[in-house]
Structure 1
Amino acid sequence: MSQIVVRRVESRWQDRVRDYRVIVDGRAVGRVGNGGEIAVAVEPGTHTVHMAIDWCRSKALQVDVKAGQVIQLECGPNAKPLLALVYATVLFRRWIWLHPGFAGAVQYPGQTQDREATMKQIEINRWARARARGMLMYVLVSGIVSFGIPMFVVMTFVFHHSRLPVAESAALWLAAGACYGFATWFVQEFRYRKAVGRPEG
């Protein structure tokens, strides 16, 4: 029997106590919790898979399943706590990300895989996709947009400090976001190069 296995990465904050619905060919076939995994029996052929929570969802992913294959997928939240309102309204179709779990994510019954090695490969593949978009794009999205701007809004308009003008607060948090982006880029790049055995530089 062919299967589609959906593994959900563990999240520290977003959707931690909520289940995601697994939708295959337009039909809800089960739920998967934070850090959990679900196996869905399917007929050989092409199937469309997406995840959902309330009115939010992931992009649809089309998979071709052969007889006896186990196709492994991975999902998790795109939305961050400080950007939840944006994702719940404008980007509700991207609340969840969904993609093949790791390189060569096809397994036949009877085969076994090392869990630790699989999770390591998942992280390598995820960073490979991020670095392919370039350092500046990573800093812009992960540093300035995801960290700097939300912190500026919260610290300026929620916990307003009267002695710090809005313009200075904006410059401060945008710079902090850029620094955060660059720092996390170099940390992740170091870990990636070490994992794949590439020299530094």
Structure 2
Amino acid sequence: MIKINRSTSYADKIRAYKIILDNECLGEIKRKETREFEVTEGKHTIYLKIDWCKSNKIEFYASSDEVIEFDCGSSISGWRTLLSFIYITFLKNKYLWIKMKNKVIL
């Protein structure tokens, strides 16, 4: 199982991010939301997408007896708000971020 927590940043406040697992849309996540998904055992790749912008990709191995937790959000916060145009054009694959928080063995 995977668990994904989205941050409370102002950017994309009213928009949902698509959760892409192994090149298939697994679902969407909204601001301040936590989503849980069952995944098959084995190696997977996860990233987020909104319009033409993406996050970094993370490869992980899932087993049936653990919960893998991720945090995610927008890179556009604080002073980076001034760089919004650069993020949606030249840094479009870094507009969003996702990181593995921890693995919990059940």
Q: Same fold (TM over 0.5)?
A: yes
Structure with the bigger RCO (C-alpha within 8 Å, sep 6+) is: 2
Q: Which residue of the partner structure matches residue 76 of structure 1?
A: 73
CA distance in 1: counterparts of 2:39 and 2:7, whole angstroms: 23
1:87 matched residue in structure 2: 87
**Which structure 1 residue ranges, 4+ long, deviate > 4 Å from structure 2?**
none
Amino acid at match of 2:12: D
- Match among 18, 41, 57 for residue 21 of structure 1: 18
Match of 1:96 in 2: 96
Q: Distance in 2 between matches of 1:14 and 1:81?
A: 8
1:112-148 alpha-carbon deviations (Å, 9 max, x no partner): xxxxxxxxxxxxxxxxxxxxxxxxxxxxxxxxxxxxx
Aligned to 2:59: 62
Root-mean-square deviation (CA, aligned residues, Å) is 1.1
**1:4 CA drift (Å):** 1.2
By how many angstroms is 1:84 displaced? 1.0
The total of aligned residue pairs comes to 103
The whole-number CA distance in structure 1 between the counterparts of 2:82 and 2:16 is 20
Partner of 1:41: 38
- TM-score (normalised: structure 1): 0.49
| Partner SS, residue 38 of structure 2 | strand
User: Where do 5+ consecutive residues of structure 1 fail to align?
Assistant: 110-201
Determine which structure has the larger strand proportion and give its number: 2
Deviation at 1:100, TM superposition (A): 1.0
Percent identity between matched residues is: 27
Counterpart of 2:47, as a letter, is H
- For 2:64 and 2:23, the matched residues in 1 are separated by 21
Shift of 1:61: 0.5
1:53: Cα distance to partner?
0.5
Indicate the structure with greater helix content: 1
**1:91 CA drift (Å):** 0.1
Shift of 1:89: 0.3
- 2:4 corresponds in structure 1 to 6
How big is the shift at 1:92? 0.2
Structure 1 counterpart of 2:14, which letter? V
Counterparts of 1:68 and 1:55 in 2: how far apart (Å)? 35
Amino acid at match of 1:9: S
Greater C-alpha Rg? 1
Unaligned runs of 5+ in 2: none
